[in-house]
Structure 1
Amino acid sequence: MAFSFLPELLVISILMLLVFASLYIKCTRSTNSLSPPLDWPIVGILPALVVNVHRIHDYMATVLTSTGNSFMAPVASIMRFFVTCDPANVQHIFTSNHANYPKGEDFAQIFDVTSGSLFTADGESSRRLRARHQSVLSSPRLLASMAKCCRDKLEKGLVPFMARVATTGAPVDMNDLVTRLVFDLYATAVLGVDPCRLSLLDMPPLQVADAMDTVMEVGFVRHIVPPFCWKLMRLLMVGPERRLAAAQGVLRRFTMEMVERRRKTAGSNIGPRLEATTASSSIDDDVLSNYVNDPEYYENGDHLLQATLILYMIAGRDTIGTTLPWVFYNLAKNPHVVSGIRKELEPIASGKAAAFLASSCIFEPEELKALVYLQAAILESLRLYPPIPIERKTVVSSDVMPSGHEVRAGDIVLVSIYSMGRMEDLWGPDCREYRPERWLSEDGGKLRHVPSHKFMAFNSGPRMCIGKDIAISQMKTIVAAVVWNFDVEALDRQEAVEPKLSCLLQMKQGLKLKVQKRQM
């Protein structure tokens, strides 16, 4: 029994030999080839994925362009992937025939730390959980608390810190800064605690935030390798699976500690505290208070409650925290867009009288609601750099796509949202350029409507992102504060900005920018 995994090890050895052969062939070919990946015996296109994994999203966009926006990709002979960025296929998968394309059991296993939550649920369970989430996120009290927290973090944290950095002339890593800011926002909104990570920039990274990153990085590995490979690694507790097990332990312990503290303070108006922190909301103003006493969530060892809290943290922090660095990256490279945003903000800022002349100006969400160019700048970043670059579905029954491709029961469908933003027939010949104007009506006064099956940054169909409006509002508030108060520019020596190997499109080496206080 102790050596029952030897057959799998033999298969892995053969697979590695084929990968090395593929590497050799790749090196002898032109790197500009637009041909589809080679379909090897046994391992399918896995060698091509390994060779191009460092640029997987651009590689997938190239292949999809050469194959008419869809192709069938066998992997390791036991798996068949249908890869597409065709809007007609997307509408079929996510809306017209969505019941035939659930996330599936494999997806639930890949993200087992959130198993049972809305993130991994399908069918009736998904509809029931979604209704509960919608009820929580529509609470006026919670929304007001989140807006206040965002404003406080900008006024007392982000803006003063950037002002101090500006006086030193030292570059700032906007990726790290934004990640800390958004982690604080969502720890407060979800758990009622403020880790004050934004204020502790000289301290080591918070273990919980690192654990969340690990879940997404190892989840990426689980997506692209055959299940028996990562399950074998999990059994042996080696490689990325060892890191993931440690990360899951961190997240479960953290959420359980928050739950236990909340239960001990039940009936008190003072929320739980982390050491050396100050919570900015009462226990009635956060997500946890809506679930902590619900028997459906705390029975069975609190598993569902933990999974739900982890989901809220990931959904909030990772979506906004991943998007904003790309927004600032694009703004740093396009000063004319910054000028356009400031022109739109000027009437609001001038109406603030003293604030207009003060050292800094913070905008309220309601003040920014009607600003279309600011929102267009954010949507354009989401088009080019969607926080979740790939969506995965499982085929229940054999079907024919609008593109004519046949899929079989058990096939895996991958929708490349990253590639969709680079489709010339959808966005025009300048589809790879950052141009917010493409989102505006001809007179520039309104946002142009783009159906969700053509712009998938917030998903589509019955699984449309519940927190879309919250996310856009918070991003507009943060971007407006930075753009109005500071000039940011990319460093000449800044290395090429590349995404991590993760289920999220996070920046690999951060984003170093030069910050200067804006002269009004």
Structure 2
Amino acid sequence: MAIFGYPEFFLIIPCIIYLFYFIIRRGKKKSEPTNWPLFGMLPAALLNLHRAHDYATQVLSEVGGTYVFKGPWFCNINMVFTSDPTNIHHIFSKNFSNYPKGPEFRKIFEILGDGIFNADFELWELHRRTTLSLLSHAKFYGSMERTIWRKVETGLLPVLANFYNQGADFDLQDIFQRFTFDTICQIVLDYDPRSLCVDLPYIPCEKAFNEAMGPLLHRHIVPEWIWKLQKKLKIGDEKKLIDAWKAFDEFIYPQVSLKKGEVDDDLTLLTAFRKVFEEKKVTFSGGLRDILRDTSLNLMVAGRDTTSTCLTWLFWLIAVNPIAKIKILEEIEAKLHLKDDKKWRFFNVEECHKLIYLHGALCESLRLFPPVALEHKAPIRPDILPSGHQLRENTKVIVSFYSMGRMEKIWGKDCLEFKPERWISSRGGIIHEPSYKFPAFNVGPRTCIGKEMAFIQMKMVAATIMYHYQIQLVEGHPVSPVDSIILQARYGLRVKLSKRNA
């Protein structure tokens, strides 16, 4: 027993720890997190929080697509991660009614209120039906086309020309975010905030979207009592979320508070929802003003973040894949008859459908960098996934859309390559993959009804920029995805412009 009084005893401790570590790691894959006593797998999650999406992809790839994450025993954050298409088809389509957004989802995304992303059952159906009705209106796409080209003409082209004339580098991601913010505000609120103009004004609401998404991801991983304490103390990530919430409210409430009749555009989403809520006498805990705020914010998130993110990654991908860029340009000139005229012209919605290769390039951007990187689901009744994993009631399921696009068993050995050709059939048409394999626009009944609108806007913007300018990446500027719900470029996309040789 004398050994307890000597330093030799302390040499035994590392050996004991190593032996224990060896035992609990036995049979595990290289990337699998260690399940420590008391702390579970949380240490590995926190250590890899700066690369959360890539780490999840690494683990899921090694274990076959589905993994049970064990949190600390005192935190109740056990969850199942999956990128398995059969599981996703089951959750989002076959057993759709068992996987509503539910109270846990609403708790995490409380900032979105009663908007379509948080809504379930009758409220969700009302949101979807009203939006679909407007998008199906005979005049909607004509109105949208005019809105986009007006912003291209008065905002995008003058801003790009200013950077070109100055010879200055700039953040192309910021330009895309401003463009989509302005256009979605016009479509939803019938209001142009003019964030995209030569002086690039700072508009708190426009920047608040970026600030909110990181904290929302961390709420999935950090124990609830921690982020709730941060919220109460107004510190850390929760302080960012509080500030973003305030910026949203200060921007949106004045617009939704307009008296009936002041907004007379029947093709504006805000007008459509106001009419539906008033005619059906729909009641909400917060009143009409609050539900219009929530509805507007949700639609703005859909229209601003997802489209701008796809465009950002598209331009990075074609910058590092110059052959694809050449093919896109050749298609733009040929299909829009620009080669003979040597003069740019705005093109219509029907002509967008002719840009097949550009469509394939956008799909590749969405596959490799899906704007919404993950989604959170939970069954209201016990369930068994096709992978064999048993789920208790309210078990948190994290579906990694980011990981799905990088799975060899889903997309083949070339899954990490940028290949627009994988989307083009032998007859020259677009190959349509099922949403549970390509979930960039969500899956099943909740598939995004603005998909067509997004592709049209992205084609118009991408074709305009590529026809006028060569995009050169700033050497040495790091480009990687941020760890957030929305998969933006962490440090933006800094570029310089040069005139394209016509």
Instruction: Identify whether the pair has TM-score above 0.5, normalized to the shorter chain.
Output: yes
**What is the CA deviation profile of residues 264-318 of structure 1, one whole-angstrom value per residue up to 9, with x for unaligned ones?**
xx445xx5xxxxxxxxxx6333211112353356863322111101111111101
Which deviates the most, 132-141 or 302-311? 132-141
SS at match of 2:196: helix
Tell me whether 1:134 sits opposite 2:117 in the alignment: no
Long gaps (5+) in structure 1: 1-20, 272-281
Tell me whether 1:476 sits opposite 2:459 in the alignment: yes
Tell me whether 1:213 sits opposite 2:210 in the alignment: yes
SS at match of 1:241: helix
Q: Distance in 2 between matches of 1:370 and 1:349?
A: 8
Code of the residue aligned with 1:254 in structure 2: it is: F
1:342 matched residue in structure 2: 329
Q: Distance in 2 between matches of 1:461 and 1:104?
A: 17
**Percent of pairs identical after alignment?**
37
Check whether the contact 2:333–2:339 (CA below 8 A) recurs between aligned residues: no
- The CA deviation at 1:157 is 2.1
What is the total number of aligned residue pairs between the two structures?
Answer: 471
- The CA deviation at 1:413 is 0.5
- The CA deviation at 1:351 is 6.0
- Out of 406, 420, 442, the position equivalent to 2:426 is 442
Check whether the contact 1:361–1:484 (CA below 8 A) recurs between aligned residues: no
Q: CA separation of 1:153/1:202 partners in 2, compared to 1, >3 Å: closer, same or farther?
A: closer
Q: CA separation of 1:201/1:61 partners in 2, compared to 1, >3 Å: closer, same or farther?
A: farther
Q: Distance in 2 between matches of 1:112 and 1:320?
A: 23
- The CA deviation at 1:195 is 1.2
Tell me whether 1:486 sits opposite 2:469 in the alignment: yes
1:417 matched residue in structure 2: 401
- The CA deviation at 1:41 is 2.5
- The CA deviation at 1:229 is 1.6
Q: Distance in 2 between matches of 1:161 and 1:285?
A: 28
- Out of 156, 164, 167, the position equivalent to 1:166 is 164
Tell me whether 1:458 sits opposite 2:441 in the alignment: yes
SS at match of 2:375: strand
- The CA deviation at 1:421 is 0.4
Check whether the contact 2:101–2:120 (CA below 8 A) recurs between aligned residues: yes
Check whether the contact 1:395–1:410 (CA below 8 A) recurs between aligned residues: yes
2:372 matched residue in structure 1: 388
1:235 matched residue in structure 2: 232
**What is the CA deviation profile of residues 96-144 of structure 1, one whole-angstrom value per residue up to 9, with x for unaligned ones?**
1111222221111111122222111123332232212211332233332
Long gaps (5+) in structure 2: 1-16
Which deviates the most, 212-221 or 505-514? 212-221
Check whether the contact 2:159–2:198 (CA below 8 A) recurs between aligned residues: no
1:375 matched residue in structure 2: 359
- The CA deviation at 1:406 is 1.3
Which deviates the most, 109-118 or 469-478? 109-118
Q: CA separation of 1:43/1:158 partners in 2, compared to 1, >3 Å: closer, same or farther?
A: same
Code of the residue aligned with 1:225 in structure 2: it is: V
1:183 matched residue in structure 2: 181
2:342 matched residue in structure 1: 357
- Out of 29, 45, 48, the position equivalent to 1:49 is 45
SS at match of 1:396: coil
Q: Distance in 1 between matches of 2:346 and 2:211?
A: 34
Check whether the contact 1:323–1:387 (CA below 8 A) recurs between aligned residues: yes
Q: CA separation of 1:141/1:298 partners in 2, compared to 1, >3 Å: closer, same or farther?
A: farther
2:487 matched residue in structure 1: 505
Q: Distance in 1 between matches of 2:356 and 2:118?
A: 34
Normalising by structure 1, what TM-score? 0.86
2:316 matched residue in structure 1: 329
Please say which structure displays the higher CA radius of gyration: 2
Check whether the contact 1:298–1:304 (CA below 8 A) recurs between aligned residues: no
Q: Distance in 1 between matches of 2:426 and 2:182?
A: 39
**What is the CA deviation profile of residues 205-232 of structure 1, one whole-angstrom value per residue up to 9, with x for unaligned ones?**
2100122222222211211112222122
RMSD in angstroms over aligned alpha carbons?
Answer: 2.2
